[in-house]
Amino acid sequence: MKKKKKAVVLFSGGLDSTTVLYYALSKKYAPYCLIFDYGQRHNKEIKLAVKTAKRLKADYSVVRLALPWSKDVLTNKNKKVPSHKKIAETIPSTYVPGRNTLFLSFGLSCAESVNAEKIFIGANALDFSGYPDCRPQFIDSYNNLLKSLGLKIEAEAPLLHMTKAQIIKLGLKLKTPYEKTWSCYNGLKTPCGTCDSCKLRAKGFKEAGVEDPALKK
């Protein structure tokens, strides 16, 4: 029997990364999920990510990082998550400096170790919060680095040029369990509905013309 090709999936348990995981599965990859605990203000996504990986019988690791120098609101629980009337046009305080660079570096180490040919990341540059490490030039530059090292590994961001509505429509075709994902920056019992991540998610489901299953009671 022919062995499945392998891929590392940077997996947060949120809407985008879960869509990417199911996308990788649809492309017949055997995924290795890297789940990151980098001191974020809650662990709801982490718990959901682990449950999803276990349910799919996918290999996974929870990577624990410490970023004691970081001043962003996602890793500082004493700071309040901002609520904007509209998505900020400048880089918001929820941006964790260098986060995707760190994640991709761990992804590369894992990919080389398990002989994976792809590193999938859920970066998106249309309906997003303006993070610089979610832009096309960042992904292109990282792949140029991999090529310069002579590595036959590619970082792929299949959602990069999609709106949130397009991502959701793709995910629904792939039977992505959005009811088992978490996007809110706050770790409340239910999504706050006011942070940028909640607003982007709500915008996506509204434009896709479907109800967010995670909000159904």
Predicted confidence band of residue 217 (pLDDT cuts 50, 70, 90)? low
The answer to which of 9-18, 121-130, 131-140, 175-184 has the lowest mean pLDDT is: 121-130
- Lowest-pLDDT choice from 124-128, 152-156, 194-198: 124-128
Query: Rounded to two decimals, what is the model's pTM?
Result: 0.93
86, pLDDT greater than 80: no
> Residue 2's pLDDT is what?
66
Q: Which strands sit side by side in the sheet containing 29-37, from one edge to the other?
A: 59-64, 29-37, 5-10, 118-120, 154-156
CA angle 43, 49, 51 (to 5 degrees): 105
As a whole number of angstroms, the distance between CA 150 and CA 211 comes to: 45
pLDDT value at residue 12: 96
Q: What is the pLDDT of residues 30-52, one digit of tens each?
A: 999 999 999 998 999 999 999 99
Q: Which domains does the chain have, with CATH numbers?
A: 5-211 (3.40.50.620)
- Nearest in space to 163 (alpha carbons), one of 121, 205, 104, 215: 205
Relative to beta strand 59-64, strand 29-37 is: parallel
Mean pLDDT of the chain: 92
Give pLDDT, residue 76.
Answer: 85
pLDDT value, residue 201: 94
What span, in angstroms and rounded, lies between the C-alpha atoms of 112 and 136? Answer: 23
C-alpha span between 53 and 154 (Å, rounded):
22
Out of 28-37, 121-130, 164-173, 197-206, least confident range: 121-130
Using the predicted structure, report yes or no on whether residue 142 has a pLDDT greater than 60. yes
